[in-house]
Amino acid sequence: MKTEQDRGEARCNQVLDAAADCFRQRGFHGASMSELAKAAGMSVGHIYHYFENKEAIIAAIVERDVAEILALLDSLHDEEDILQALIREAGNNLEEATCGSDDALQLEVLAEATRNPKVLAMVRDGDRLARNRLAETITKGRAMRGLAPLADLEARSEIIIALFEGLTCRNVRNPGVPLDAIATVLRSTLQNLLET
C-alpha cells in the first residue's frame, strides 16, 4: 500500500517528467506554468504545492540527474574490478547518454545557469558532488589493483566528464554518429586515463 510520502514522491516525479518535456520543447523561459500543469495532468496550484517556482523545478531536475550519476558510481564500488566496471559501464551507457532525449534539457539547464546565479549555484554544487564521487571511485579502483594514487586525479576526472558532456553536444550537432565505433574509442581512452 502506498504511503502519503510515496504518493507525494510520485506526484513530484510526474511534475519533473512533464517539466523536462516542456523545457526540452520550449526552453525554460518559453514553457509556462500552465503548460507544465497541462503536461503533468494537474492544476498549477497543485504544482505550487510541490515546487515554489520554475527554479525549484530545475533544482529538482539537477538533483535527480546527480542522484542517478552518484547511484551508478556507488554501484561500481561492489564490483571486483572497479576500473574495468567503470570502463564497461561508460561504453554500455553511451547509447543512453547520447540518445538525444536529455541533450536539449541539459543544454537548456546550462544556458539558464549562464543567466541565473541561483541555477548556476545548483549546477556547480551538483557537478562538485559528481566530480568528487568519480574521483573517489577512481581512487578506490586503483587502490584495489595496487596502483599508485594519481597526482593529476582532478585533471583526469575533468577530462572524463568533459568526454561525456562533449558527446551530448556532439549528438546535437551530429546526430547519428557511429556509437559502436565511438564506444570502442571511449573505452580505450578511459582505460588509458584510469589505468596508467
Per residue in 77-100, pLDDT (tens digit) is 999 999 999 999 887 766 665 555
**pLDDT for residue 38 is more than 60:** yes
* Top-level class of domain 55-195: mainly alpha
Q: What are the C-alpha distances in Å from 26 to residues 22, 36, 119?
A: 6, 11, 18
What is the CATH T-level fold of the domain 1-51, as seen in this structure? Answer: Arc Repressor Mutant, subunit A (1.10.10)
pLDDT score for 194 = 95
Task: Give the C-alpha separation, 125 to 123, whole Å.
Answer: 6
When pLDDT is cut at 50, 70 and 90, the band that residue 104 belongs to is confident
When pLDDT is cut at 50, 70 and 90, the band that residue 119 belongs to is very high
Closest CA to 43 of 54, 52, 35: 35
150 neighbors 192 (Cβ within 8 angstroms) = no
Residue 32 main-chain phi, psi, to 5 deg:
-90, 160
Task: Kindly state the percentage of the chain with pLDDT values over 90.
Answer: 70
Residue span(s) of the chain under CATH 1.10.10.60 come to: 1-51
Give me the long-range contacts of 139-145 (CB less than 8 A, separation at least 24).
140/77, 140/82, 141/76, 141/81, 141/82, 141/83, 141/85, 141/86, 141/194, 142/83, 142/194, 142/195, 144/81, 144/82, 145/81, 145/83, 145/195
pLDDT score for 97 = 55
Task: Give the C-alpha separation, 43 to 187, whole Å.
Answer: 46
In a 13 Å sphere around the CA of 33, the CA atoms on its Cβ side amount to: 15
Closest CA to 109 of 75, 147, 65: 65
Instruction: Give the tens place of pLDDT for each residue, 140-176.
Output: 999 999 999 999 999 999 999 999 888 888 878 888 8
Task: Give the C-alpha separation, 175 to 133, whole Å.
Answer: 30
Helical ranges in 28-174 per DSSP H? 33-40, 44-50, 54-76, 82-92, 94-97, 103-115, 117-145, 153-173
pTM: 0.86
pLDDT score for 96 = 60
Cell digits of residue 20:
523536462
When pLDDT is cut at 50, 70 and 90, the band that residue 179 belongs to is confident
Residue span(s) of the chain under CATH 1.10.357.10 come to: 55-195
